[in-house]
């Protein structure tokens, strides 16, 4: 069998040796092991100093399809308890049985980055029910070993970082805030440069853990939850794509209470997490001001467009807008062979209303008139103030008969209910359907003539152009 290289500090290995010896004595078993995955093999890293223990440090077996108990622990990444392997055909090819070791209890051991290091296990050649106390002890010893792995890795990285005095000097003199952390899952702050302290006010001792960091920089609980999710996503992305930077923009709260916008770049190299912060508060303020100015310009343009196309008194379309809309409907009707009709209506005796009640009351009559007409016509039939007390209506897909019926309904709607302080108001209406090849001027002239005929017939009437 090939020996495995011991790449752990001697003092750590001695502690692990003491752990295994203690557990074996308390459990009263024949062998205790700490196993380490090496390439495609599994090797003995620590072996208990017990009599008749057949395993030696450095013993090594091919892991895949080995039949070993530890292979099952590695594959399942979970605890394995075997009361008696001789009772199951599952373990027929297990090499441990050649030593008569048919009783087994094992737990997986993970590195700080979550990858499997190996197992801690007990083996015996006599019936052993593995009491809950022994299982709990083994679980705690596994946790202790994983904690030592975490501390060992942090210490290694701290020594590595401390030895790079040139790197520290460069980072300390960079004009941007820098943080260096260690750990792939719950990083701890290993180093912050002077610019970080100057920019945000916190010393390293105040933000050394992620819990401290998030509570201080994000005091608002809802925003903290958002940042925690974003941070978890970034860590996951970096674990999948090491050395690929993650860039984020967010807000954080400084020690003096200031809230600043930052651009954060994060990169993970092995277990080191390097984070840079650039203060973009001014840029974000300019962006907000620019966005606000853009919205104000858009609103102003919309208002200008409304003023250019709307009659300010009645809030209907104006004549210019109506003529443009009519031109489009004419083109559509003549192209598709569909009917389109035009109404031109006039308030009867409107001058008398102004003379008797005043122009202000006359204006209110026009406003109420348009309200009633709009409620009846809807958006599909454009209404516009043609001039003075005259109004025009466009009726797409309506022939002259349908349009005349609509005009009668409008006439009755106006005359059927009194107007405030004025009593009855009536309208006269002309109707004309667009003829093939007819120009806009000809069409509008015919509807105007129809309106004249309605007034000549005594007003409060509808007349259609033949």
Which CATH code of 3.40.50.300, 3.30.70.270, 3.40.50.450, 3.40.1800.10 fits the domain covering 310-464? Answer: 3.30.70.270
Judge whether 389 and 316 are in contact, CB under 8 Å.
no
Tokens at 22, concatenated: 């203690």
* Alpha carbon distance 207, 290 (integer Å): 35
Edge-to-edge strand list for the sheet holding 462-464:
383-387, 390-396, 340-347, 427-433, 462-464
Rounded distance between C-alpha atoms, residue 278 and residue 249, angstroms = 10
Cα-Cα end-to-end distance for the chain: 111
pTM of the model: 0.47
**pLDDT value for 308:** 86
The Cβ of residue 66 has, within 10 Å, a number of other Cβ atoms equal to 18
Q: What's the length of the chain?
A: 466
Are 208 and 181 in contact by the 8 Å Cβ rule? The answer is no
HEC profile of 85-153:
HHHCHHHCCCHHHHHCCCEEEEEEEECCCCCEEEEEEEEECCCCCCCHHHHHHHHHHHHHHHHHHHHHH
Q: Is 136 exposed, middle or buried (0-12, 13-18, 19+ CB in 10 A)?
A: exposed
Tally Cβ neighbours within 10 Å of residue 289.
10
DSSP letter, residue 43: E
pLDDT lower than 70: segments of the chain: 1-7, 113, 128-129, 156-168, 183-185, 271
Paired strand residues for 108 = 119
- Helix 400-415, helix 359-377: angle, nearest 10: 130
What backbone torsions phi and psi does residue 393 show, to the nearest 5 degrees?
-135, 135
Q: Contact, 112 vs 183, CB < 8 A?
A: yes
Domain range annotation of the chain: 10-156, 176-283, 310-464
pLDDT in tens, 273-326: 889 999 999 999 999 999 999 999 999 998 888 888 899 899 999 999 999 999
Q: How far apart are CA 75 and CA 305, in angstroms?
A: 70
Domain 10-156 bears CATH identifier 1.10.1060.10: no
Alpha-helical (H) ranges within 210-318 are: 210-217, 221-240, 281-309
For residues 414 and 369, the answer to whether their CB atoms sit within 8 Å is yes
Cα-based distances in Å from 395 to 50, 61, 199: 103, 90, 67
Q: 176-283 has which fold?
A: Beta-Lactamase (3.30.450)
Instruction: Check for a shared fold between 10-156 and 176-283.
Output: yes
Beta-sheet strand order (sheet of 188-192): 188-192, 177-182, 272-279, 259-269, 246-253
Element (H, E) at 7: none
3-state secondary structure of 262: strand
Q: What is the pLDDT of residues 30-82, one digit of tens each?
A: 999 999 999 889 999 999 999 889 999 999 999 888 899 999 999 999 999 99
The Cα 378–Cα 433 span in angstroms is 20
Give the distance from CA 82 to its chain's centroid.
Answer: 47
Helices (H) and strands (E) in the chain, counts: 13, 16
Residue 207 per-residue DSSP state: S
Degrees (nearest 5) of the Cα angle 211, 212, 218?
90
**Distance in angstroms (rounded) separating the CA atoms of residues 275 and 179:** 5
């Amino acid at each position: 069998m090939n020996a495995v290289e011991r790449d752990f500090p001697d003092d750590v290995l001695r502690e692990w040796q003491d752990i295994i010896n203690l557990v074996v004595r308390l459990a009263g078993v024949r062998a205790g092991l700490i196993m380490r995955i090496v390439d495609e093999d599994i090797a003995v890293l620590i072996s208990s100093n017990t009599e008749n223990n057949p395993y030696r440090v450095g013993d090594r077996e091919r892991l895949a399809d080995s039949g070993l108990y530890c292979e099952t622990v590695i594959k399942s990444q979970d605890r394995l308890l075997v009361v008696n392997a001789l009772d199951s055909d599952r373990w027929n090819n297990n090499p441990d049985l050649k030593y008569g070791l048919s009783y087994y209890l094992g737990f997986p051991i993970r590195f700080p980055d979550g990858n499997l290091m190996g197992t801690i296990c007990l083996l015996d050649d006599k019936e052993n029910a593995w009491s809950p106390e022994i299982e709990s002890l083994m679980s705690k010893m596994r946790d202790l070993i994983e904690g030592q792995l975490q501390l060992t890795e942090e210490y290694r990285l701290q020594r590595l970082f401390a030895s790079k005095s040139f790197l520290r000097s460069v980072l300390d003199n960079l004009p941007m805030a820098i943080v260096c952390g260690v750990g792939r899952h719950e990083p701890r702050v290993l180093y912050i440069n002077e610019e970080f302290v100057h920019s945000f006010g916190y010393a390293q001792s105040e933000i050394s853990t992620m819990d401290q960091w998030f509570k201080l920089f994000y005091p608002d609980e809802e925003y903290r939850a958002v940042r925690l999710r974003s941070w978890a996503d970034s860590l996951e992305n970096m674990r999948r794509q090491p050395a690929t930077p993650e860039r984020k923009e967010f807000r954080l709260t400084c020690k003096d209470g200031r809230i600043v916008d930052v651009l954060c770049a994060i990169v993970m190299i092995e277990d080191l997490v390097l984070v840079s912060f650039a203060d973009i508060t001014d840029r974000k303020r300019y962006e907000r001001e620019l966005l606000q100015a853009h919205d104000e310009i858009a609103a102003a343009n919309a208002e200008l467009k409304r003023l250019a196309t709307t009659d300010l008194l009645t809030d209907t379309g104006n004549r210019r807008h109506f003529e443009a809309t009519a031109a489009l409907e004419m083109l559509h009707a003549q192209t598709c062979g569909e009917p389109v009709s035009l109404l031109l209506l006039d308030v009867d005796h409107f001058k008398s209303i102004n003379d008797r009640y005043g122009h202000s009351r006359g204006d209110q009559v026009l406003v109420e008139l348009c309200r009633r007409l709009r409620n009846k016509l809807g958006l599909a039939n454009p209404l516009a103030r043609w001039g003075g007390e005259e109004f025009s209506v466009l009726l797409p897909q309506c022939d002259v008969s349908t349009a005349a019926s609509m005009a009668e309904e409008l006439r009755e709607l106006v005359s059927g209910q009194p107007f405030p302080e004025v009593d009855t108001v009536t309208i006269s209406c002309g109707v004309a359907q667009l003829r093939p090849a007819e120009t806009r001027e000809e069409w509008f002239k015919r509807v105007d003539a129809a309106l004249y005929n309605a007034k000549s017939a005594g007003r409060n009437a509808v007349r259609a152009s033949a």
